[in-house]
């Protein structure tokens, strides 16, 4: 009987080895990486005055889509603070967004008046805001 047990044990050991599996974790690489680049054209720059003091700039830019048609280009207005840092933007449908660190932009205003949207991006409350068009550089 010991010979039969040895045979059974060898058979079970062989089946265990046969049906054992090994798993590997592999990170798959993307086939291609497509980069989209959009060109912009600066239309105007306005000086932002809050209570009569310079508080930043409002840059109006046209963002061109890569299909070279003008009917779907967008206009964005970027708000810069007094330190020339972009702090937010206003879309052509009057939505104002403020940039947040490590987060998507936050919707802070949806006003028809441009001055109210700029104030919302800058975080100004109860201030008098004036936009003064700057002369174009030649």
Residue 71 structural domain? 40-133
In this structure, is residue 71 part of a structural domain? Answer: yes
Tokens coding 60 = 């109006």
In this structure, is residue 3 part of a structural domain? Answer: no
CA–CA distance, 118 with 109 (Å, rounded to integer):
9
In this structure, is residue 30 part of a structural domain? Answer: no
User: What is the tally of structural domains in the chain?
Assistant: 1
In this structure, is residue 18 part of a structural domain? Answer: no
In this structure, is residue 114 part of a structural domain? Answer: yes
Encode the chain (138 residues) as per-residue pLDDT tens digits: 566 666 665 555 555 554 555 555 555 555 555 545 568 888 899 999 999 999 999 999 988 777 666 667 788 999 999 999 999 999 989 999 999 999 999 999 998 899 999 999 999 877 888 888 887 654
In this structure, is residue 62 part of a structural domain? Answer: yes
Tokens 């020339």 -> residue = 84
CA–CA distance, 49 with 118 (Å, rounded to integer):
11
Q: C-alpha angle 37/41/44, rounded to 5°?
A: 145
Please state the pTM of the whole predicted model: 0.67
In this structure, is residue 7 part of a structural domain? Answer: no
In this structure, is residue 23 part of a structural domain? Answer: no
């Amino acid at each position: 009987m010991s010979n039969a047990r040895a045979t059974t044990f060898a058979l079970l050991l062989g089946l265990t080895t046969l049906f054992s599996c090994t798993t590997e974790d592999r990170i798959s690489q993307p086939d291609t990486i497509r980069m989209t680049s959009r060109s912009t054209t600066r239309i105007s720059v306005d000086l932002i005055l809050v209570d009569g003091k310079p508080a930043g700039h409002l840059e109006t830019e046209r963002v061109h889509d890569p299909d070279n048609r003008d009917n779907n280009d967008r206009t964005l207005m970027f708000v810069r603070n007094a330190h020339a840092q972009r702090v937010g933007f206003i879309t052509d449908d009057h939505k104002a967004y403020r940039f947040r660190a490590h987060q998507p932009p936050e919707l802070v205003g949806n006003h028809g008046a441009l001055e109210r949207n700029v104030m919302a991006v800058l975080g100004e409350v109860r201030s008098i805001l004036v936009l003064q068009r700057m002369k174009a550089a030649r």
